[in-house]
Structure 1
Amino acid sequence: MNHKTPKMRHTLLNDVIFKIVFGSAQNERVLRSLLNAILQLEGPDKIVQLELLGNDSAKTYVQDRGAVVDVRARDGHGRIYNVEVQVRNPVHYVERSLYYLCRLYHEQLTRGTDYHELRRTVAISLLDFVLFPEHDRVHSRFRLHDSRHDLELSDILEIHYLELRKFKSDGILDKPLEKWLHLLRYSEVYGLGIEPLPDFIRAEEEMVMAFEAMNKAYARDEVRELIEARLKAEWDEASRLGAATRQGLAEGREQGLAEGKAEGLAAGKAEGLAVGKAEGLREAALGMRALGVDVETILKATGVRLEA
């Protein structure tokens, strides 16, 4: 069995790299561009200012294998955003992402504040796997909605899932979101120099900034060590869970065999008793007929029907 740590990928979809590139103050423009593209904000609704929230370094998350390495920000309108990258599909991911959205919404309330001060809270998940196989749309958006009357309760809570595996770079990519999705999905191809960065990406200053920030981050020894430590922690956890699962299956099989044997003995005993009882009733019925008892009376007494 191979116990080696998985190979580190050179991609924007690594959560530590994503935190460094999109969650640093010097790259605020990059995050702003990504959010405007995903939310399709234009004109007066466009985000022009962002304040990073909970600006912890990615390093603080390595010791906690289950931690979410995310980027949180507030715009000039007070709207709050949470953006995370997820490469693997964990169990109950939808429930987990809803929990983080609601927690971010709840954290706005402090002692002395009122409900009218709550601001719109948006969670965005960039996924390197298929979450909704029932449709082929890359971008899914959810709000609180009355499905019976087609009535939206509020836009104060909103969650977005972008399934990058569904994205296809066919034809001309002219929309900002299409370009961002292309860069996110194929950043490894360009980062490793397998193909040159395409002109339609080079024409977008913020996307070039993101690409260059990714390359600079991977060039730093401490960042690579950080990523390897997180990968090792995740690998160790997966190995531990795998071993526990195998042990549980083995113990379950042994217990199942033991219980099956016991149930088989019990069933055999019950079946034997049933057969014995049936044979006894038939013998009684035959004895009654030998004494001249009529067939109907025998049937009522024993439940055994004898031919006349």
Structure 2
Amino acid sequence: IDLVFKRIFSRADLLLDFLNAVLPLDAPIESLTYLPTEQAPQVPDMRFSIVDVKCCDQNGRVFVVEMQMLWTDAYFSRILFSGAQAIVNQLSPGDSYQSLCPVYSVTVLNDVFEKDPDEQDCWLHHYKITKLAKRGRHGKILKGLQFVILELPKFNPKTKTEKKVTALWLRFLRDTGR
């Protein structure tokens, strides 16, 4: 599955279509440029990460896309680390923080990580950094880093919308290994 995933998403037109289908973006992606998948830190002896696919769009937004066969408790830390490195690697010494572009970390997971019975039909998990407002409501969103995890085993299209482009992609990815 990993080899098929990398082969398919080495084509910018297919990756662009997939990301537009599954990501909650304010503006669609029009073009993609691939970036090196090895995220080496500028500080010697610091840990680096290698991701499956890394690219940026016409607005500079960075997309880190990973295929994961099995879920482990450490995987949350791994995607946080890779997403943070994608932000840090945008700046060179002397660059302004205002030049940082948003990073979207997308994981296509061929496993179930959210085992809560109330979440049985929830196949798309979208994490943002938010401020907790009074009485537990969500307040302002700290833009810059978002995580999207797609649980393929839970994907079972029911609505017309889910049966369109998003469904085609997710069904393809879910059923490729069967």
Under a length normalisation based on structure 2, what TM-score does the superposition of the two structures give? 0.82
C-alpha contact (below 8 Å) 1:68/1:84 kept by paired residues? no
C-alpha contact (below 8 Å) 2:37/2:50 kept by paired residues? no
Query: Aligned residue for 1:129?
Result: 111
Query: Aligned residue for 2:155?
Result: 167
- Please identify the structure whose Cα radius of gyration is greater: 1
Query: Aligned residue for 2:54?
Result: 72
Residues 49 and 148 of structure 1: CA distance in aligned 2, closer, same or farther (over 3 Å) = same
Q: Does residue 1:146 correspond to 2:131, yes or no?
A: yes
Q: Tell me the CA shift for residue 90 of structure 1.
A: 2.8
Q: Tell me the CA shift for residue 89 of structure 1.
A: 1.7
In 1: Cα distance, 2:92 partner to 2:51 partner: 24
Percent identical: 27
Counterparts in 2 of 1:228-267, with a 5 A limit? none
Query: Aligned residue for 2:45?
Result: none
Q: Structure 2 unaligned segments of length 5 or more: list them.
A: 39-48
SS at match of 1:108: coil
Q: 1:182 aligns with which of 166, 171, 177?
A: 171
In 2: Cα distance, 1:35 partner to 1:174 partner: 16
In 2: Cα distance, 1:138 partner to 1:41 partner: 18
**Structure with more helix by fraction:** 1
SS at match of 1:179: helix
How many residues get paired? 161
Query: Aligned residue for 1:15?
Result: 2
In 2: Cα distance, 1:104 partner to 1:69 partner: 10
Q: Does residue 1:33 correspond to 2:27, yes or no?
A: no
Cα RMSD over matched residues?
2.0
Q: Structure 1 unaligned segments of length 5 or more: list them.
A: 1-13, 57-66, 190-308
Under a length normalisation based on structure 1, what TM-score does the superposition of the two structures give? 0.49
Q: 1:51 aligns with which of 27, 30, 33?
A: 33
SS at match of 2:84: helix
**Structure with more strand by fraction:** 2
Task: Provide, for residues 197-231 of structure 1, a one-character-per-residue CA deviation record: whole Å limited to 9, x for no partner.
Answer: xxxxxxxxxxxxxxxxxxxxxxxxxxxxxxxxxxx
Q: Tell me the CA shift for residue 176 of structure 1.
A: 1.8
Residues 171 and 140 of structure 1: CA distance in aligned 2, closer, same or farther (over 3 Å) = closer
